[in-house]
Amino acid sequence: MSAEIDNQLRLHRLWLESRTGTRADFSDQDLSGHFFGAADLSEAVFRGARLAGCSFVGATLQRADFFKADLSEADLSYADLQGADVRGARFTNATMRSTILRGVSLRRGLRLKADGSGAPEFIRQDLSGAILDGADLRGVDASAANLSQASLRNVQLEDADLPDADLSGANLSGSNLSNCDLAGVNLTGANLSRAELNGAFLENAVLAGALLSGADLSNARISSDQMRVAVTGPATPTRKQQIALALEAVAGHEQWLNQKGGARANLGGALLDGIDLRKRDLRGISLKGASLRNAKLAGALLQQADLAGADLSASDLSFCDMRGALLNGANLTGVLFSDANLDAARIRAAGGTTIEQEIKTDLTDAVLYRASFRRARVRDVIANWPGGLPDATQTGDAT
């Protein structure tokens, strides 16, 4: 069975690269416990498949079909499921740390519980650091779930059940949490700016340092004591303050990577120009949309890091390990990539929204001496090298 799966994966890679192979179709098959690793399974079909206990750590699963698949106890950490069809899929006890579920619909009626009631469940699941921006989670039951440091911007969470969940450090800006049960939720340091909390139940919720500027709290069950410890007005820290906070977050991120506590760092949108992160372990970090101009990142570990839309102009990324990093829409003007490893990195115009489609990766004047681009996806790039892209992308290593 394993040899048959490996053959399907080989043919699927050919199909993705040149459409000469065949699209992987594992519909209704029992693949329980199989190790898929960080394979590119974009658009693969797993309809009705039994995938209990499978490992998809770091896998690319964009637009994959998981309709009514059983992913119970599967490990989806760091996997990218953007655009995947997960209607009716079962995620009981699945590990989804830093999983990308951007824009995925998990609303009531589209997923089925074991008893067939149709209410989606993430009870007590580890979704720390997960990226769920724009996801439809209406009616989801995530009681006591770990969503710390998760990115939940512009998410639909109306009527969701989140009692006793850990949302510390999560970014919920612009999200709709109307009539949401947030009793006993840990929202320490969470960003709830411009969030819709109309009718939300916040009894015993911890809001220390939570940002509530512009949030709609009409008819919300919240005490004056809770409001006193939250930040209700605009509080934009200076660049120096943001860098100091970022360095603390990076230290915690490294502890988290080494399973010594800490938490995954989410530094999306931060102003970090000139920051010194040389040789730091930044694997899986979120720096989406951050300003990192003139940053010192030589020798840093940036595997699977999210740098989409970040401004890295004139930064030093020499000797960096950036395998599998997301650089869609990033500004890489004048970046030093000497001896960097960008194998399987994604460098192309983003495709999430109409606005993002207008953003292209800018590699103008970048130095790519001896950089490795094997299996990197390099498309829609702005560059001004004489004769086009450098040899590394002309030999067929990059697609």
Helices (H), ranges, the chain: 2-18, 224-229, 239-257, 354-357, 391-394
Per-residue pLDDT of the chain (399 residues; tens, 9 = 90+): 688 899 999 999 999 988 788 999 999 999 999 999 889 999 999 999 999 999 999 899 999 999 889 998 899 988 888 888 887 788 878 888 878 887 676 654 333 333 334 445 688 888 888 888 877 788 888 899 899 888 888 888 999 999 999 999 899 988 999 999 999 999 988 888 889 999 999 999 998 888 888 888 888 888 777 776 676 655 455 677 678 878 888 888 898 888 877 778 888 777 889 999 999 999 999 898 888 999 999 999 999 998 888 889 889 999 999 988 888 778 888 888 888 888 877 775 433 332 233 334 556 666 676 666 665 555 555 555 444 444 444 333 443
pTM > 0.75: no
> Residue 371 and residue 318: Cα distance in Å, rounded?
8
**pLDDT for the residue numbered 374:** 65
Q: Where are the domains of the chain?
A: 236-399
Q: Would you identify the CATH topology of the domain 236-399?
A: Pectate Lyase C-like (2.160.20)
Q: What is the largest CA-CA distance in the chain?
A: 65
> Residue 122 and residue 150: Cα distance in Å, rounded?
14
| DSSP output for 39-64 | -B-TT-B-TT-B-TT-B-TT-B-TT-
